[in-house]
Amino acid sequence: MKRRLRVGLNLFGILLVGIIIVAGWYLNRAMPVGVGYVAKYLCSNTFISQRDPQVVFEEDVKPVNPLAHVVRWKVDREDRSVTASAFGRVKAKAVYREGCGCTLVVGAEEEAVRGQTFYQAAQAYAPVSHDPNLPWPEGSGGAVDPASLGVDGKTLDRALDAAFAEPGPDNPRKTRAVVVIYDGHLIAERYAPGFGPDTPLLGWSMAKSITNALVGILVREGALDIHKPAPVPEWQEPDDPRSAITLDQLLRMSSGLAFEERYEPLYDAVDMLYGAPDFAAFAAEKTLEAEPDTKWSYSSGSANIVARIVRRAAEKRYDHYYDFLRRQLFDQIGMSSALVEADPSGTFVGSSYGIATPRDWARFGLLYLQDGVWKGERILPEGWVTYSTTPTPTAPRGEYGAFFWLNAGAPDNPSDRLWPNAPRDAFAAQGFQEQKVIVIPSRKVVLIRFGATSRRDTWDTDRFITDVLETLPPAE
């Protein structure tokens, strides 16, 4: 009996030691992600969105970052930075630079990051100003009377009520902003307390669609050809099978590159965003898991490879390549608040870090509704919106084009689509926690939704779309 007890205790001890070792290894890998997320997210929301960091930490960070409960953080407004730490050992710092936003200092000295010259300070620009006496999008005037456009205003109000309604305290939607554009007019907008039309909001993966636009502009200028092999330095050896990957395949998420798009510690997406000094280089080192154009696999890594391609093409034309983003896209359509933050290497984070006010995100959607034309000037090349919204052949439900989500439906079953009750021509820029820029050409509509929705099943995009469309005049 004593021998059995002794053996049992020994086995228990071995098991306990094993658990401690595994837990220690996991925390050693996971804590830098949890700490980095806190520093970066608080930095962007404090210095760009001008929100109270304590409120942001409680309402936005804790619900999605389980490691945040052991993280301590500090905002230094004079230094324009946020530091975070856990257990007094794991530390992270994000710095704010006017003109390119917040960057997590990883793999480089802070002095080197602050000394980068790919951007100009915001005061160097002549930002687009919006006349308050003019209606949106030319000015910053408020919504027009929906009835003047044949819209049922009372029913539209109820649709917005539903968008902001909370199903219960346990799984809140936390809708922060809704904007409705119809036939080029702002017909409704609503904001949660603490938010407004001038609050810049992080769109997360909606940045991919901004990257799409930047590629389109370079295609229009003849600087890029999407059907040629992508100019990725890591793939240039003649016997490297990745050397045949085209820019089109990267845009369509059908390159075949291995990349784990899971937002949990130990997976590629978070290791890249919170642990890599060069996001594109991190992704470009991945091997092929499938032949190009044989598998669709959503990848933020691919978006950052494309962002670096955009950067290198723009650097041939501009001393500060961020001028290209602003002058050729944002200023052209009046997105005066728009910003895409950079990684530590200085490449804009084309996968995840686009920030703008809801009204400016609506301007971006309107550009695509208008087939890439703004005030009679072609911003995106002819046919680019059609290309971007053509389903990728390997996307099983016809749900993805070129850095845009689609509602086309499965080729053999069009009713099997993202939003079954919405028109099939609907497409969207979408981001984490249900950020949306939804464009529906057949109904001349752009819908904007921002929130901090921790559980995806608490927000119903299909209902949101159909609720608004029911208030509009019938399709022509």
Q: How many domains are there within the chain?
A: 2
Residue 288 · residue 258 · CB < 8 Å: yes
Q: What percent of the chain has pLDDT over 90?
A: 84
Q: Both 108 and 155 in a single domain?
A: no
Query: pLDDT averaged over the chain?
Result: 92
Q: Is residue 123 in some structural domain?
A: no
pLDDT tens digits along 178-230:
999 999 999 999 999 999 999 999 999 999 999 999 999 999 999 999 999 99
Q: Both 226 and 347 in a single domain?
A: yes
Q: Both 152 and 111 in a single domain?
A: no
Distance of alpha carbon 364 from alpha carbon 362, whole angstroms: 5
Q: Both 399 and 451 in a single domain?
A: yes
Q: What is the mean pLDDT of residues 293-317?
A: 97
Owner of token pair 């290309």: 387
Q: Both 185 and 70 in a single domain?
A: no
Q: What is the mean pLDDT of residues 44-61?
A: 97
**Structure-model confidence comparison of residues 22 and 307, the more confident one:** 307
Q: Print the domain residue range for 55.
A: 2-117
Q: Both 85 and 208 in a single domain?
A: no
Q: Both 391 and 451 in a single domain?
A: yes
Q: Both 357 and 228 in a single domain?
A: yes
Q: Both 63 and 172 in a single domain?
A: no
pLDDT tens digits along 396-417:
999 999 999 999 999 999 999 9
Q: Is residue 444 in some structural domain?
A: yes
Q: Is residue 409 in some structural domain?
A: yes
Distance of alpha carbon 83 from alpha carbon 94, whole angstroms: 6
Residue 200 · residue 337 · CB < 8 Å: yes
203's CB contacts (< 8 A; 6+ apart) are: 354, 355, 356, 361, 429, 431, 435, 437, 450
The CATH number assigned to the domain holding 402 equals 3.40.710.10
Beta-strand ranges (E) seen in 141-251 are 175-182, 185-191, 201-202
25's CB contacts (< 8 A; 6+ apart) are: none
Residue ending a domain, choose from 117, 138, 161: 117
Q: Count Cβ atoms within 10 A of the Cβ of residue 103 and give its class: 0-12 exposed, 13-18 middle, 19 or more buried.
A: buried
Q: Is residue 246 in some structural domain?
A: no
Q: Is residue 454 in some structural domain?
A: yes
Q: Is residue 138 in some structural domain?
A: no
Q: Is residue 315 in some structural domain?
A: yes
Q: Is residue 285 in some structural domain?
A: no
Lowest mean pLDDT segment, chosen from 96-100, 125-129, 337-341: 125-129
Distance of alpha carbon 85 from alpha carbon 78, whole angstroms: 20
Q: Both 110 and 64 in a single domain?
A: yes
Residue 357 · residue 197 · CB < 8 Å: yes
Q: Both 404 and 350 in a single domain?
A: yes
Residue 428 · residue 369 · CB < 8 Å: no
Helix (H, G, I), strand (E, B) or coil at 147: helix
CA dihedral 110, 76, 269, 360 (to 10 degrees): -110
Distance of alpha carbon 158 from alpha carbon 284, whole angstroms: 47
Q: Both 361 and 459 in a single domain?
A: yes
Per-residue pLDDT, 204: 97
